[in-house]
Every structure is written in C-alpha cells, then in structure tokens.
Structure 1
Amino acid sequence: MSLEPTGVVADGTTEQWRDRKRYLWLMGLVVPSLAFIALGMYLLTGWGVFMWTGPIVIFLIVPLADIIIGTDSSNPPDEMIEELENDKYYRYVTYAFLPLQYAGFIVAMYLVGTTDWPVIDKIGLAISIGCVGGIAINTAHELGHKREKEERWLGKIALAQSAYGHFFIEHNRGHHTRVSTPEDPASSRIGESFYRFWPRTVSGSLRSAWSSEKKRYERKETHPFHWGNDVLNAWAMTVVLFGVIIAVTGVEVIPYLILQAIVGFSLLEVVNYMEHYGMLR
C-alpha cells in the first residue's frame, strides 16, 4: 500500500506516516567532512587535485546526482509537521554539522599556515573549506529560524567562519519583510548580472543589518555599541576565531582565511541571485 500526500492509504484506511529518508539525512554530514576527505586523499596520493574536493563535489558530483536521482516532491502531511519538529533526531543531525565544520576548518587552516605545500594546493584547500562554510550558512539559516535562543546562537557560530554573521539579522528582519522590493539587497534586478549583483547585495546586506540593530537600540534610547548588538557579537566571533588561527599559524594564513570566507558567502549570494532573479524591474 502506498501513502497519499495527506497520509491516507490508497484503500481509504489511515496509516502513520513514516519518513523513509530518515537516516539518509545523515548524508548531509558528508559536506562538513570534505576537509578530511580532501586532506586524507592528498596525503595518501600527493595529488593536488584532491585539494579541490569541495568545488568538485558541490559543482559537479552533486548536480550530476540530482540529474540521475531526479526530484523528490514528497512531503510529510500537515498533521505530522509538529511531531517532526519535536523529533530531536533531526535537530541532532543539524547540530552535528557544526563540530565537523569547525574541526575541518581549524585543521585545514593550521596546515595551510604551517606547511610548505604548493600555493596552488593551499588555494584549492581554502576554496574547499569555503564551500563547506557556504553550505554552513544554510545550516545557520535553519537555526536562525528557531525560537530557542541557544539554537540562534549556534546559527551565529556557523556563520563565523565565513565572516557573515550579519546575515543572521538581515535575513530574518530584512529579507523576509522586504523580499522582491527595491529595499531588499538580496533581490536581483531584471537583466542584472551576478557580477553587478554581488557587490550590491554584500554591501547592502551589511548596511541593512547594522541599520536594523541601530534602530532597535534607538527604540531603547541608547547607542548600538552594546554586546547585545547581534551584528557586533556575531562579528566578534569571527575576529576571535581568525585571531586565534593567525596567532597559532602566523600571518601567512591571512590570505587563505579571507579567500575561504569570500567563497563561503559568495555561495550564499549565488543562491540568492538565482532564487530571486528578475523579481525587481
């Protein structure tokens, strides 16, 4: 017997809906593990191509898999949504992304800053790490929508690697209320190329996030320079993270830290560009 989208069995009886992909969601943890895959294969073979595992997987293997597997349009019935949201298993899968993300990031940046590997191989590894950071923004997006304060802080932590902590503010308070309007920096214009969209959305998102927090503190009749300012404390996480890595490995790692951060938040903006392309005339 097959389940209809409403959770009713084809013969008219009812049956408890089950997530048949429940344990396949663990495959999402392959992404934060890409650093270890890249490093392991590089150390095993000495082939520099493995340092580019991130972009190879994200831009080649995953799209090919999508074409082969096809689109899965099945969704849980509405009456199951609350139960699924309360199922801690799905939350734990999301949480598990973060330690893998940061373990790979720290190990990779340490090796980039302390080894005499060829520069092209270090660039490949930094880009691979940036790809992981870009996907982590999606994790931060999900955590940022949660009601629990602890999960929202985890969202900020996920963003620290890409130095894009203000996305936490801009997406929830700005983009959601102004999507497809001229005030939304994440909505692209008709005929606007990505190369024109990128600087506009990156700078616009930052200004919008700061303006949102500044107005919040103006309502409190005080200045915005408080630890409670979500833009400032999110940026502080990046400063501390990068500062510790630089202190341990040396200043040689700085260009690679910047490169991986740019790759990370650029992946987000590519998605914004495609998702909202041409919404504004």
Structure 2
Amino acid sequence: MQVQPRACVYMLAWLFPLLSMWGIETGGAATFALPVFAFVLVPVADLFAGRSPRLPNRDGVALADWIMYAYVPLALLALATGVSGASRWTMLEWVGNTLSLGVTAGVGIVVAHELGHRRSTVLRLLSRLMLWTAAYGHYRVEHNRGHHVWVATPYDPATARRNQPYYAFWWQAVSGTLRGAWAQEAARLMKRQLPGWHWRNEVWQNLAATLLLAVFAWLLGRWAGLGLYAAQAVIGFSLLEAVDYIEHYGLMRHRHADGRFERMTAAHSWSANHTVSNWLLFELQRHADHHVRPLLPFSALGDQAESPMLPASYPTMILLALCPPLWYRVMHPRLDRHYEHLATERGVQAV
C-alpha cells in the first residue's frame, strides 16, 4: 500500500474516542472536552481553514479506509471504559461523559454508514457492530434499501419537509426508519417464502445484538453502566437524525402527472465543503456526491455543482437546527434561491 500523507488527515477523527477516554479518566470539567471540541473548536477551525472544493479523486483511498477501520476498536474501547466506570462519577461527570460518548457514537454511525455501503461481508459486519452500540442496527437496512431509493419524496422518513422542526422530524425519522426496515426485511423474506417474523429478519437480529450489548453493559457497570449505554445510544442516533435533517431539509423531487418522481440528482441534497469538519467526519458533508455515487469510498468524494451548499459545517448547522426560528431564518432564503435557480435552469432547457 502506497502511503499518501494527505490521507493521514482523517486520523483527526480518532480524537472523538480519545477525548472521550481522556475525559473519563481525568474527570471533572475535562469530561466536557469532547463536546467543546466538536461544537466550538471545530466550527472555529472551519472558519480559519475555509472551504476545500475539489474534484473527485482517489488519492490515498486505501490508507484512508484503514484509518476509518481503526475508529471501530477505539470507539468500542471508549464505550467499555465509560460503562465500567460510570458508577463512580459525579453528576457533572455523568453529563459530560454521556455527551462525549454520545458524540463518539454519533461519529461511529458515520463510520457504520460508510462501511454499510461496502461490498465486503466483514466490513458490513463492522457496520452492524457500530450500529448496535448505538441501538440503531435497523438503520442500515432502511438507509440502503429505502432512503437511497425514496430520498426527497414523502415516502422517505429521513427527508425533512420545509417548516418541519427538528423535534417533529426526530420522531418521523426514528419511527419511520424502524417501520421501513421491518417492511424491507418482510418483503425480502417473503420472496424466500418465509414469514416476516422469521429469525432471519435483520430487525430481530439487530434487536438481539443490542440486548446482548446491554447485558454486557450491566455486567461491566451494573445499572449505572446500563443507563450510560442507553443514554449515549439515544444521543448517538439523535445526532444521526440531526444530520439527516440538515442533509435534505426542504428538498423534494418533482412528481410527474403519472405519479413518477423525477430522477434523483445532486440538487436534492445539501452539501458542505468545510475543510476541518470534513476530515473529522470522513467527508460525510459531501453528501450529494455520495447520493449520486453511493459505492464510492468516502475519500474519493468531491463536490457536485448542482448541490446547494450549507452556510456552515455540520456541527454549526446541528446547533441551528435545535432552534427552529433561527434555522428557518438561515435556511429558507437559501432554499428559495435554490428552487429559483432550478426553475430557471428547467426553463432554459425547455426552450
């Protein structure tokens, strides 16, 4: 494997589990190191580093992938460290460490998302393992077979409608993802002449794996460990749904008179090309290119000209999403300009 130094920037993502473990071991105010890093220092770093628009490339893909794989054991170690020590924490440490591990789990879902699109059975198993730690194993089923088909339509629970606050979207996405995963698995099993409730249904398998991890958490940390495992999981998948919220907010595909939806394009996903946060999130913010070419490795993703750009990186946009009036004030003018641009382009094409 030829080493590409540029790919080493993705090692910055290891700071999530490492800062979590440092906070757990140090205690006190240090337990808030990761939340401050993720939602204060990273946005500031993005302001200084600026944007990094680039064409798709394949430099350092192999090394970048191995750096991403290493996130899995680091995240598992951070969670085990927290669960085993949770019973000794003060209330302040509980809040800080739970937030830190929740953020680590959220980034773990980013890794799981990437691995879930790979063809390797081993990598897909690692994807499921990461999702189990966040009690969200069914996400991979609905995301791959549902979201990528129905994105930017009313049939996709992970597409936020205009004027829909994050808090209403959260329930739509969490409940809809579970229902969608069950429907996908039931349809798959029916083709094999098996009932939907068969043990081969991945929803059952994911539930069983999550419960097994919960048992391990109880064995390591008793009720405090189990409570921590549950709390960080909720924070982790809530961050995922916050990301889903900002990635497709208000973007809907046109429906033709015959009921068919227009073809999905890069115009139906918001993107961000902020340098530092893209390194930390394994290029997740180049979301439009991912939808156009979902099997492409993350480090080979680039910008898509049709995609509307977010005004700030994901950490800042997540904070904005938690305040709906501010979110609407920032996003609605951009959404209107995007649709005006699309209408102009379609008009020119029609002529």
Q: What TM-score comes out, normalization by structure 1 length?
A: 0.84
User: Which of these residues, 3, 11, 28, is aligned with residue 13 of structure 2?
Assistant: 28
**1:185 Cα shift?**
0.3
**2:75 alignment counterpart:** 101
Structure 1 unaligned runs (5+)? Answer: 1-17, 43-47
**1:60 Cα shift?**
0.9
4+ long deviations beyond 6 Å = none
**1:221 alignment counterpart:** 193
**1:100 Cα shift?**
0.4
- Measured against aligned partners, the alpha-carbon deviations of 1:137-194 in whole angstroms (never above 9, x if no partner) come to 1100110010111111110011111101111111100100000111100001110111
Q: How many residues align?
A: 251
- Measured against aligned partners, the alpha-carbon deviations of 1:226-269 in whole angstroms (never above 9, x if no partner) come to 44322222222221111111123212333322211111001111
Q: Tell me, yes or no, if structure 1 residue 253 matches structure 2 residue 233.
A: no
Q: Does the Cα contact within 8 Å between 1:34 and 1:132 map onto a contact in 2?
A: no
**1:111 Cα shift?**
0.4
Give, as a single letter, the amino acid of the residue that structure 2 aligns with 1:155. Answer: S
- Tell me, in whole angstroms, the C-alpha distance in 2 between the residues paired with 1:76 and 1:178: 25
Q: Tell me, yes or no, if structure 1 residue 41 matches structure 2 residue 26.
A: yes
- Percent of aligned positions that are identical: 33
Q: Does the Cα contact within 8 Å between 1:185 and 1:205 map onto a contact in 2?
A: yes
Q: Tell me, yes or no, if structure 1 residue 60 matches structure 2 residue 40.
A: yes
Give, as a single letter, the amino acid of the residue that structure 2 aligns with 1:183. Answer: Y
Give, as a single letter, the amino acid of the residue that structure 2 aligns with 1:21. Answer: R
- Tell me, in whole angstroms, the C-alpha distance in 2 between the residues paired with 1:212 and 1:187: 18
How much is the aligned-residue C-alpha RMSD, in angstroms? 1.9
Structure 2 unaligned runs (5+)? Answer: 254-351
- Tell me, in whole angstroms, the C-alpha distance in 2 between the residues paired with 1:276 and 1:170: 16
**2:131 alignment counterpart:** 159
- Tell me, in whole angstroms, the C-alpha distance in 2 between the residues paired with 1:237 and 1:68: 43
Matches within 5 A, 1:196-215: 196-215=168-187
Q: Does the Cα contact within 8 Å between 1:144 and 1:152 map onto a contact in 2?
A: yes
CA 1:189–1:76 in structure 2 vs 1: closer, same or farther (change >3 Å)? closer
Matches within 5 A, 1:97-246: 97-113=71-87, 115=88, 117-246=89-218
- Tell me, in whole angstroms, the C-alpha distance in 2 between the residues paired with 1:64 and 1:227: 48
- Tell me, in whole angstroms, the C-alpha distance in 2 between the residues paired with 1:178 and 1:76: 25
